[in-house]
Chains A and B, each alone.
Chain A
Amino acid sequence: MSWLHFAVFTPFLFTLFVPLLNKSFRRVHTGWFVLIIPLLLFVYFLGYFPLDPAMAPVIHSIPWIPSLDIHFTLHLDGLALLLLLIITGIGALVVLYSIYYMSMEREALHNFYIYLLLFMGAMLGIVLSDNLLVLYVFWEMTSVSSFLLIAYWYQRGRSRYGAQKSMLITISGGFAMLLGFLMLYTASGTLSVRELIAMSSQLSEHGLFLPAMLLVLLGAFTKSAQFPFHIWLPDAMEAPTPISAYLHSATMVKAGVYLVARLTPVFGGNIEWFWIITTVGAITLFWGSFMAIRQTDLKALLAYSTISQLGLIMCLLGIGSNALNADYSEQALLFSGAALAAIFHLFNHSIFKGCLFMVIGILDHETGTRDIRKLGGLMGIMPVSFTLTVIGGLSMAGLPPFSGFLSKEMFFTGVLTAARNMNDWLVVLPIVAWVASILTFVYCLILVFRTFTGKYQPDRLDKTPHEAPIGMLIPPGVLALLVIVFFFIPNVVGASLLRPAMHAILPQLVADGGTFDVHISAWHGFTMELAMTAGIIALGSLLYIYLKKWSGIYDNLPRRFTLNNLYDSGLNSIERASLRFTNTYMTGFLAHYLSYIFIIMICLTGGTLLGQGVFALNMENNSEIAPYEYVLGISMVIAAVFVVFSTSRLMSIIAVGAVGYIVSLMFVLFRAPDLALTQLVVETITTALFLLCFYYLPKMRRELTRLRFKLSSLVISLGVGISLTLIGLSVQDHNLFEPIKSYFENSYQLAGAKNIVNAILVDFRAFDTMLEIVVLFTAGIGVYNLIKLRQARRNEK
Chain B
Amino acid sequence: MELLMALVIGVLFAVAVYLMLSRTLLRIIIGTVILSHGVHLLLMTMSRLKRGAAPIMEEGNLAYTDPLPQALILTSIVISFGVTAFMLVLAYRAYQSLGTDQMDELKGEKEHE
Interface hits, B68-113 → A, CB 8 Å: 68, 70-75, 77-79, 81-86, 88-93, 95-97, 101, 103-104, 107-108, 110, 112-113
With A640-B11, A640-B15 known as contacts, the answer to whether A623 contacts B51 (CB < 8 A) is yes
Is residue A553 within 8 Å, beta carbon to beta carbon, of the partner chain?
A: no
Asked if B21 and A690 make an inter-chain contact with CB atoms under 8 angstroms apart, the answer reads no
Interface hits, A717-751 → B, CB 8 Å: 717-718, 720-722, 724-725, 727-729, 731-732, 739-741, 744-745, 747-748
Listed by A's residue number, 11 A-B pairs whose Cβ atoms lie within 8 Å are A619-B2, A637-B7, A675-B73, A685-B81, A690-B88, A703-B22, A721-B12, A721-B17, A729-B3, A765-B71, A768-B71
Asked if B103 and A775 make an inter-chain contact with CB atoms under 8 angstroms apart, the answer reads no
- Chain A, 594-608, contact with B by CB distance < 8 Å: what is the 0/1 string? 110010000000000
Partner of B79, one of A583, A713, A772: A772
Partner of B95, one of A672, A697, A727: A697
Asked if A629 and B1 make an inter-chain contact with CB atoms under 8 angstroms apart, the answer reads yes
Query: Residue on A with the closest CB to B113?
Result: A583
Interface hits, A688-719 → B, CB 8 Å: 689-690, 693-694, 696-698, 700-701, 703-705, 713-714, 716-718
With A671-B54, A671-B65 known as contacts, the answer to whether A728 contacts B6 (CB < 8 A) is yes
Asked if A760 and B96 make an inter-chain contact with CB atoms under 8 angstroms apart, the answer reads no
Query: Residue on A with the closest CB to B110?
Result: A588
Interface hits, B1-57 → A, CB 8 Å: 1-28, 30, 33-34, 37-38, 40-42, 44-57
Whole-angstrom distance from the CB of A712 to the nearest CB of chain B? 8
Interface hits, A743-776 → B, CB 8 Å: 744-745, 747-748, 754-757, 760-761, 765, 768-769, 772, 775-776
Is residue A686 within 8 Å, beta carbon to beta carbon, of the partner chain?
A: yes
Asked if B82 and A775 make an inter-chain contact with CB atoms under 8 angstroms apart, the answer reads yes
- Count B interface residues, CB 8 Å: 88
Is residue A511 within 8 Å, beta carbon to beta carbon, of the partner chain?
A: no
Partner of A757, one of B12, B21, B34, B55: B55
> Residues on A close to B: CB < 8 A?
579, 583, 588-591, 594-595, 598, 619, 621-625, 629-630, 633, 636-637, 640-641, 643-644, 649, 652, 656, 659-660, 663, 666-667, 669-675, 678-679, 682, 685-686, 689-690, 693-694, 696-698, 700-701, 703-705, 713-714, 716-718, 720-722, 724-725, 727-729, 731-732, 739-741, 744-745, 747-748, 754-757, 760-761, 765, 768-769, 772, 775-776, 778-780, 782-783, 786-787, 790
Partner of B74, one of A659, A686, A718, A757: A757
Asked if B70 and A728 make an inter-chain contact with CB atoms under 8 angstroms apart, the answer reads no
Whole-angstrom distance from the CB of B78 to the nearest CB of chain A? 5
Bound CA–CA A700/B19 (angstroms): 13
For B66, the chain A residues whose CB sits under 8 A away are 739, 741
For B24, the chain A residues whose CB sits under 8 A away are 700-701, 703
With A589-B107, A594-B21, A721-B13 known as contacts, the answer to whether A637 contacts B8 (CB < 8 A) is yes
For B73, the chain A residues whose CB sits under 8 A away are 672, 675
For B86, the chain A residues whose CB sits under 8 A away are 779, 782-783
Partner of A672, one of B1, B65, B93, B97: B65
> Residues on B close to A: CB < 8 A?
1-28, 30, 33-34, 37-38, 40-42, 44-58, 64-68, 70-75, 77-79, 81-86, 88-93, 95-97, 101, 103-104, 107-108, 110, 112-113
Partner of B93, one of A659, A756, A790: A790
Bound CA–CA A242/B8 (angstroms): 80
Count, A-B residue pairs, CB within 8 A: 273
Asked if B14 and A720 make an inter-chain contact with CB atoms under 8 angstroms apart, the answer reads yes
Asked if B67 and A741 make an inter-chain contact with CB atoms under 8 angstroms apart, the answer reads yes
Asked if A729 and B2 make an inter-chain contact with CB atoms under 8 angstroms apart, the answer reads yes
For B58, the chain A residues whose CB sits under 8 A away are 754
Q: How would you classify the secondary structure of chain A's contact residues: helix, strand, loop or mixed? A: helix
Asked if B92 and A623 make an inter-chain contact with CB atoms under 8 angstroms apart, the answer reads no
Bound CA–CA A717/B48 (angstroms): 26
For A656, the chain B residues whose CB sits under 8 A away are 30, 33-34
Asked if B21 and A671 make an inter-chain contact with CB atoms under 8 angstroms apart, the answer reads no
Query: Residue on B with the closest CB to A702?
Result: B24
With A672-B44, A741-B67 known as contacts, the answer to whether A643 contacts B8 (CB < 8 A) is no
Asked if B78 and A786 make an inter-chain contact with CB atoms under 8 angstroms apart, the answer reads no
Asked if A686 and B112 make an inter-chain contact with CB atoms under 8 angstroms apart, the answer reads no
For A724, the chain B residues whose CB sits under 8 A away are 9-10, 13, 38, 42
With A644-B19, A666-B41, A673-B54 known as contacts, the answer to whether A700 contacts B26 (CB < 8 A) is yes
Asked if A728 and B42 make an inter-chain contact with CB atoms under 8 angstroms apart, the answer reads yes
Partner of A674, one of B53, B74, B110: B74
With A678-B78, A728-B10 known as contacts, the answer to whether A622 contacts B2 (CB < 8 A) is yes
Partner of B2, one of A660, A728, A754, A786: A728
Asked if B21 and A713 make an inter-chain contact with CB atoms under 8 angstroms apart, the answer reads yes
For A705, the chain B residues whose CB sits under 8 A away are 22-23
Question: What 8 new A-B contacts, CB under 8 Å, besides A591-B23, A637-B8?
Answer: A591-B103, A637-B11, A675-B77, A698-B95, A721-B13, A728-B2, A776-B82, A787-B89
Asked if A672 and B101 make an inter-chain contact with CB atoms under 8 angstroms apart, the answer reads no
Bound CA–CA A673/B50 (angstroms): 13
Query: Residue on B with the closest CB to A586?
Result: B112
Bound CA–CA A779/B97 (angstroms): 20
Asked if A633 and B4 make an inter-chain contact with CB atoms under 8 angstroms apart, the answer reads yes
For B112, the chain A residues whose CB sits under 8 A away are 579, 583
Whole-angstrom distance from the CB of A796 to the nearest CB of chain B? 15
